[in-house]
Amino acid sequence: MSGRLADKVAIVTGAGSVGPGWGNGRAIAVIFAREGATVVAVDRNADALAPTVDAIRGEGGRVEPRVCDVTDSASVAALIDEVRRDLGRIDVLVNNVGGSHPGGPAQLTEEAWAAQLDLNLTSVYRMCRHVLPVMRQQRAGSIVNIASTSGIRWTGSPQVGYAAAKAGVIQLSRVVAVQHAPDGIRVNTVVPGQLHTPMVEARLAHQRAGGDVQALLQQRQARIPLGFAGDGRDTAYAALFLASDEARFITGTEIVVDGGMTARCD
């Protein structure tokens, strides 16, 4: 199969979606498959994963669905062992799992804080911990971690656990990139801004706009200099570039995908 990821095996976590449309994980999985990868589409929810799998197979792509909870170490270890056994190698890892919880330190319970770090940051560590030995043995690999503009700027809502975790993802990526550069492994981060993904309708509008989806979309769009909201496909194309051999000389850095939002002063 031809394409920018031809004959590569790519694991994409969080490949399901909370609703119709282009979430980051679904878009990454579909676009990677279009570019020739065998996509190991991972999610903890089989029902959320099914439409992604159907979309890839409907286009003639290659996909291996796997149910795995990336907050569980045993589940992650079993997943990587299975992929290595069944597919022989892991060329690309995209760590896409994440989700926000509102509140600053005075509002966020210690339990919620710990859960935010586990979901958004420790999950990346767990996947890297088990995938890196495979890539080191191959002497090649590309890891793309999905962070958020919340990790580099105030983006309109107090969500300190999420913001701290996503900032951690960016620095984790830089450190691992330098450590494993001699092994032929590249590690980079995509930093999406306020995209219109299914999460807007499923969760964020209820948290921030009293359930008014259009009001939230207007608030978010007003912050974007380009004047429109991207979606998961914009994240996916940035991840595709970083995963591909076109980015062979790029490691330890970030691509911000936000329509210019974080470059603004107001």
Catalytic site residues?
Answer: 162
Q: What is the residue type of 151?
A: G
| Positive or negative torsion for Cα 10, 242, 119, 221 | negative
Tell me the two tokens of residue 227: 């004047």
CA distances from 204 to 96, 194, 197, 210 (A): 18, 11, 10, 9
Selection from 190, 210, 221 nearest residue 96 by Cα: 190
Q: Which residues contact 53 (CB under 8 A, 6 or more apart)?
A: 41, 63, 65
Distance (Å, whole) CA 165 – CA 98 = 10
- Cα separation, 69 vs 66, in Å, equals 10
**Reduced to 3 states, what is the DSSP secondary structure of residue 219?**
helix
Contact 134, 84 (CB under 8 A): yes
Contact 88, 141 (CB under 8 A): no
Provide CB contacts within 8 A for 65, sequence distance 6+.
41, 46, 49, 50, 53
